Amino acid sequence: MRVLSGIQPTGRPHWGNYFGAIKQYIDLQSADEAYYFVANLHALNTVRDKDQLSQFSWDAALDLLALGLDPNQANLFIQSDVPEVSELCWLLLAGTPMGLLERCVSYKDKIAKGLPVVAGLFAYPVLQAADILAYDANIVPVGEDQKQHIEVCRDIAKAFNHQYGEVFVIPEAKILDSSAKVPGTDGDKMSKSYDNFIEIFEPPNKMKKKVMRISTDSREMHESKDPETDHLFQLFSLFGSESDVQAMADLYRTGGFGYGDIKKQLAAAAQAFFEPAFARREELAAKPDEVKQILGDGAAAARKKAGEVLLRAQKACGLK
């Protein structure tokens, strides 16, 4: 079984990114083969400053390694270091109907939000298909919002195979656990778009200030509260031990506490949870050559596999 996943380097990851996606990606790295990449080609659609894109890409690699991606189990690389994917993308574009891309919800949503209408945004699902098909990936872990793009990838691969023979493995989407929804500081889903996020690698003092500003209701301290409907409790549940979470739930139902105390406990639990990742990231940042070696080795393995698939596709459609 081959697993593939990519993360766009458009800013530092927050708690929602970790529990909603990154943690689940990393849990799958023990597959027979696993490919994880920093999707800097995709990020070009929104990040147009070269220094910023370079820094974001480097930070994303450090973050993934610090959070538990093991280069002994998975191949980690930068997307643009595998040019075979871009060439494969053109082979796929040549046979992809415009109507298929025009129906993509994410494209229509971004246009509705006023984002620049660029060809890269329109063709995003085709490059994503090339990312997947280049490694004969069987499993692609994605959020519910990306499910349609995997269906597009499957449609493109099936059409190519129908035209030229059995060239591509047809991938399956693994929809990430939607119960991992992480509330932001305002109670809505944590998102950079809503500016309600808390970054994983924020300095502890800055993180604590954000936690202390989390919105709460106006019930009196003595009142009993339902922990299951409280977003502050939901956040604590992500970080606390089973016994601590149970004790917190009992406290909510009993009443007689202030939200400020809960926030302090949340900040302490989050800091303790990510402390090993903080330490690992500092260690990696101090060894840039080691990280470059990891990315280089990952790219070499990715190019080898992508080269085999590209050659197969080229021969099938008469380019070799």
What residues are labeled active site?
A: 110, 189, 192
Residue 258 to residue 50: CA distance in whole angstroms: 47
Q: Which two tokens stand for residue 248?
A: 């917190």
- Determine the Cα–Cα distance for residues 225 and 30; give it in Å rounded to an integer: 41
The helix (run of H) or strand (run of E) holding residue 98 is: helix 98-102
| Secondary structure (3-state) at 127 | helix
Element (H, E) at 141: strand 139-142
Half-sphere exposure of 112 (CA within 13 A, CB side): 6
| First-to-last C-alpha distance (Å) of the chain | 29
Determine whether 143 is exposed, middle or buried from the number of CB atoms within 10 Å of its CB (0-12, 13-18, 19+). middle
Q: Which residues contact 134 (CB under 8 A, 6 or more apart)?
A: 82, 84, 85, 88, 302, 305, 306, 309, 310
Which residues are bridge partners to 284 per DSSP? Answer: none
At position 228, the amino acid (one-letter code) is E
- Which backbone phi and psi does 86 adopt, to 5 degrees? -65, -40
Cα–Cα distance for residue pair 123/101, rounded to 1 Å: 7
Amino acid letter, 163: Q
Give CA 192 to chain center in angstroms: 13
The 3-state DSSP class for residue 37 equals strand
